[in-house]
Amino acid sequence: METNQHVLDQLVTYIRDNTTHLADSELRVPVSNFIDDDHAARERALMRTKPLVVAHHSELPDAGGFITRDVLGSPLLIVRQRDGSVHTSLNVCRHRGGRVEQAESGKKRAFTCQYHGWTYDRDGSLTHIPYSQFFEPLDRLCHGLFAVHTEERHGFIWVTLEPGENPISVADFLGAEVESRLSQFNYENSLLVLDKEFTLPVNWKLVVDGAVDSLHPKFLHPTGVGRLIATNTCVVDDLGLHMQSFTPRVKLETKVQAGEENIEGFYRHVGSAVFLFPNVNAAITPDHVEFWTTWPSLTTAGECTIRIRFLADPDTYDERMAERLRRSWEILEEAATKEDWPMEETIQTNSLAVADSTYLYGRNEAAPQHLHRVLDAELAAQAATAGAGR
């Protein structure tokens, strides 16, 4: 693949020259962006206007399969339809607001609110009102569950909570280049082989920063990941809102430093991470993807929930692969729970002591800079639109 050869050549050059991809300038980010609840509320409002990954296709295997999920304050009822499409409703009864479906997941023909029995079809349309003769005649078509803009793409269910008048498709949101890069892995048919959730007392952006930070492995993970992944060498591809970064494995670094010319096998030598705005980090390998979504808390800037999914290619998944992925999870879990997240927790606590200050992202930290640059631009655009609408 052309991109891969280009990336490999660039990484080899960086290793030889002892340098890395450089941003145009340093970046200073106000500490308040990590601790200010009003800022966090503006970020959540922005996220509600973007397509967000809320589920993997396998969570809704057949018609009537459903999950309920709270996403940024919206209770969702996500249901696979008879024609294979996915419909999302707000899980809020049109009678007087009861949660229509209480279970986290299952399979149903219809959904009946427990409070007074109003019943809705899989697509949210209202089908039955007990004692309806005591209500004024009611247009049932206008009293279905509120629909939420939903699309299934790349094997994920995406929702846009507040799409505005012209909802953007996921393909347009990602753009042709990201679409083409994602098509290199079998996402549509991917197997969900691991699915875990963690809630941390940390601002969500610190987690996203950590996932693309190539300046820390040998310092924070000296005996683990730091022995596998090189430090301070990275190719960063700016893909608009999104980004892909590539980091050499130590194995590649060692070969180049030893003067080896023939480097065969891209993924044996390079780790890659895709960032999809606003909250997806995916570590890409040829046989599996470690797919993170990081969600800000609804109540405080200082908390987030991370969902980690491992996706495998069904064409190559077997017992040996399962064992390899178990090992990958052990390495990741060790680094994340014992090193990355405790460090991020100290940053969150420390931030309160230097609230009026800034944090610094060097020119060699183009990947972590990316989130803050695009997020700030999007927040500014949102504020401008809100101002124009007043």
Binding site for ligand FES (CB under 6 A): 93, 95-98, 113, 115-118
* Long-range Cβ pairs for the range 25-29 (8 Å, 24+): 25/363, 26/360, 26/361, 26/362, 26/363, 27/360, 27/361, 27/365, 27/369, 27/372, 27/373, 28/358, 28/359, 28/360, 28/361, 29/358, 29/359, 29/361, 29/372
Residues 6+ apart with CB under 8 A from 113: 93, 95, 98, 99, 100, 119, 120
Cα-Cα-Cα-Cα dihedral of 46, 50, 56, 60, to 10°? 100
Which lies closer to ligand FES via its Cβ, residue 36 or residue 123?
Answer: 123
Query: Using CB atoms, what's the residue nearest to Fe ion?
Result: 340
Which lies closer to ligand FES via its Cβ, residue 129 or residue 256?
Answer: 129
Residues between 5 and 64 that touch Fe ion (CB under 5 A) = none
CA distance 323 to 291: 18
Question: In angstroms, what is the minimal distance from the CB of 113 to ligand FES?
Answer: 3
Residues in contact with Fe ion, shown as a per-residue x/- string from 146 to 185 under the rule CB under 5 A: ----------------------------------------
The owner of tokens 């972590």 is 368
Question: In angstroms, what is the minimal distance from the CB of 380 to ligand FES?
Answer: 41
344 is a contact residue toward Fe ion (CB under 5 A): no
Question: In angstroms, what is the minimal distance from the CB of 140 to Fe ion?
Answer: 53
CA distance 207 to 68: 25
> Considering CB distances under 5 to 8 angstroms, the limit depending on partner class, which of ligand FES, Fe ion, none binds residue 113?
ligand FES
Q: Which span sits near Fe ion by CB under 5 A: 58-66, 124-132, 134-142, 332-340?
A: 332-340
CA distance 51 to 162: 9
CA distance 165 to 161: 12
CA distance 47 to 115: 32
Q: Which of 151, 340, 344, 365 binds Fe ion (CB under 5 A)?
A: 340
Question: In angstroms, what is the minimal distance from the CB of 104 to ligand FES?
Answer: 19
Which lies closer to ligand FES via its Cβ, residue 17 or residue 131?
Answer: 131
CA distance 229 to 269: 9
> Considering CB distances under 5 to 8 angstroms, the limit depending on partner class, which of Fe ion, ligand FES, none binds residue 338?
none
CA distance 344 to 25: 24
Which lies closer to ligand FES via its Cβ, residue 92 or residue 241?
Answer: 92
Question: In angstroms, what is the minimal distance from the CB of 139 to ligand FES?
Answer: 17
Which lies closer to ligand FES via its Cβ, residue 131 or residue 389?
Answer: 131
> Residue 327: what are its φ and ψ, rounded to 5°?
-65, -45
Strand-strand pairing, 52-56 and 27-30: unpaired
> Considering CB distances under 5 to 8 angstroms, the limit depending on partner class, which of Fe ion, ligand FES, none binds residue 227?
none
> Considering CB distances under 5 to 8 angstroms, the limit depending on partner class, which of ligand FES, Fe ion, none binds residue 149?
none
> Residue 245: what are its φ and ψ, rounded to 5°?
-125, 155
> Considering CB distances under 5 to 8 angstroms, the limit depending on partner class, which of ligand FES, Fe ion, none binds residue 340?
Fe ion
Residues in contact with Fe ion, shown as a per-residue x/- string from 61 to 80 under the rule CB under 5 A: --------------------
Which lies closer to Fe ion via its Cβ, residue 85 or residue 350?
Answer: 350
Question: In angstroms, what is the minimal distance from the CB of 289 to Fe ion?
Answer: 18
| Total number of residues that touch Fe ion (CB under 5 A) | 1
> Residue 342: enclosing H or E segment and its boundaries?
helix 341-353
| H-state helical runs in 107-203 | 170-182
CA distance 97 to 123: 18
Residues within the interface to Fe ion (CB under 5 A): 340
